[in-house]
Amino acid sequence: MVRQAWTSLFALLSVVAAINGPRQTNDGVHLAITPTCGKLGGTFTNANAGIVTAGIKTLVAFGDSYTSGGRSDGGTLPPAVLVGTNPRAGGRVTDGPVWAEDVASGLGATIKDYAVAGAVVNVTLWPSKAGQSDFLHQAALFLSQKNVLAPTTTLYAVFFGIKYALQYGFLLADNDVADGNHLPQAAADLLAQIQQLAAAPTSAKNILVVDDYGFGKHAAIGDAWKQAVFAGLSPLRAQGLNVAFVDFAPLWDAVLGPTPGFAAFGYKNSGDCIPNADQTNLTGECATPLNSFYWLPSHPSKETHQIMADYVNLVLANCKA
């Protein structure tokens, strides 16, 4: 099996990494574009207003399957490795670390991950999601733990909206057409939850908001959601918070579109490697498991998560507003 060969190779490289430090090759996959920068107050764009990554000791992450590290209570995450034929590395919806883990690793920071697969901003807005996680529940859990984290050395990452997919020309929650468009309220709820984190006793100071709605597709209603969230960061900045916004849409466009196209990034496959999102084994695994854009359908491979982290790092370093 292809996976068995790669598993053996990964084990060997892990030993080498333990001796010589982490690998930097990312299996030949690399970022082939540079994020375009702008400032707060206008049309949504990549921007960093005040976040200084030097000295960050803790990354607190909220989100859905793109951010979930296999444990959602802020504790130590399970090893990000595949075991046997399970296609989910330590419970993640990918074959290795997720982007937030890669960002935390690059900062030398501890990650406290509260993300849950399938989560939305406010589950009460989406009746079909009843019983699932949302930003409100994740933040409430974090607050209930009474974590003592220094505001100046803690970065809070908020990444929701990926699964608001395009259906019938409208942007709705997953395939739940009956739920309707509640994105304006969801944007307001997301910003209100950030306000709660910024209040005592947490007194969050550094807020990173990430967006990737539509899996590389675009619609006016989706852009309106993104604009509402982006516009809401300006008042937070005026209150003294350090805020940054990362728009992954150009990255998805660059990989899935003709310019520069997936091959420019080192991919051999712009689709998924495992054919079924609910699959529990490696049956049907693609021939290029280390060079596929997606691992499970619509879920980035570990290599993609790494270039997502690289993209975030560039925004934080270069897009100072």
Distance in angstroms (rounded) separating the CA atoms of residues 303 and 268: 12
pLDDT digits (tens, 9 = 90+) for 151-176: 999 999 999 987 665 543 444 544 44
The CA distances from residue 154 to 16, 52, 198, 226, 252, in Å, are: 31, 10, 12, 24, 28
> Is residue 2 scored above 70 in pLDDT?
no
Residue 114: φ, ψ to 5°: -115, 5
Q: What is the mean pLDDT of the chain?
A: 89
pLDDT digits (tens, 9 = 90+) for 186-245: 999 999 999 999 999 999 999 999 999 988 888 888 899 999 999 999 999 999 999 999
Length of the chain: 321
When pLDDT is cut at 50, 70 and 90, the band that residue 96 belongs to is very high
Distance in angstroms (rounded) separating the CA atoms of residues 149 and 112: 11
Beta-carbon contacts of residue 119 (< 8 Å; ≥ 6 apart): 63, 64, 132, 133, 134, 135, 138, 160
| Nearest alpha-carbon partner for 69 in 37, 103, 45 | 103
- In the β-sheet with 58-63, what is the strand arrangement from edge to edge? 47-49, 242-247, 206-211, 154-159, 58-63, 110-113
Left, alpha or beta for 116 (phi > 0: left; psi -120 to 50: alpha)? Answer: beta
Beta partners for 294? 272, 300
Q: Three-class SS of residue 226? A: helix
pLDDT at residue number 151 = 98
* Strand ranges inside the chain, DSSP E: 47-49, 58-63, 110-113, 154-159, 166-167, 170-171, 206-211, 242-247, 269-272, 292-294
pLDDT at residue number 8 = 38
Take residue 162 and report the two structure tokens written for it: 């990926």
Q: Three-class SS of residue 147? A: coil
Distance in angstroms (rounded) separating the CA atoms of residues 87 and 278: 10
Beta partners for 243? 49, 207
DSSP string, 115-130: --TT-BS-GGG-GGGT
pLDDT at residue number 195 = 98
Residue 216 DSSP label:
G
Take residue 66 and report the two structure tokens written for it: 């793109």
pLDDT digits (tens, 9 = 90+) for 48-66: 999 999 999 999 999 999 9
Percent of all residues in the chain with a pLDDT value above 90, rounded to a whole number: 77
Residue 8: φ, ψ to 5°: -65, -40
Cis ω for the linkage preceding 201 (within 30 of 0) = yes
139-143, 244-248, 277-281 — which is least confidently predicted? 277-281
